[in-house]
Amino acid sequence: MKHNGIIAIVFVVGCATGGVAAQLVVPPVRAGTSPTRWEYQCLTVGTEGGRFTSTLNQLGAQGWELVSMAPAEAGTAFGATTVGAYTLCAKRALP
């Protein structure tokens, strides 16, 4: 009976050690490569007249990728919040 208890304790300790050790392993660096460098652009765009969609299409055509969007102008009308403009931030890889 004592033998089974010792085996169980060793098993639990081994599992716990393996789980912790896996988190401490640092992945190997990709040899001969450098990390991607990015450039960023943020702009404020109104929502009226289809300007919002055309601006997004222009950014995409130039290689920009949208990474965040936040309301820049907000107001309340008839108990509902309306957004008149958004701030867009985009990134693209440097050559």
Give residue-wise pLDDT tens across range 42-61. Answer: 999 988 878 888 999 999 99
Give residue-wise pLDDT tens across range 67-87. Answer: 999 998 888 878 888 888 999
Number of Cβ within 10 Å of residue 22's Cβ equals 8
pTM above 0.85, yes or no: no
pLDDT at 17 exceeding the cut of 70: no
Alpha carbon distances (Å) from 46 to 53, 57, 61, 76, 89:
10, 15, 20, 16, 14
pLDDT at 23 exceeding the cut of 80: no
Domain extents in the chain: 2-93
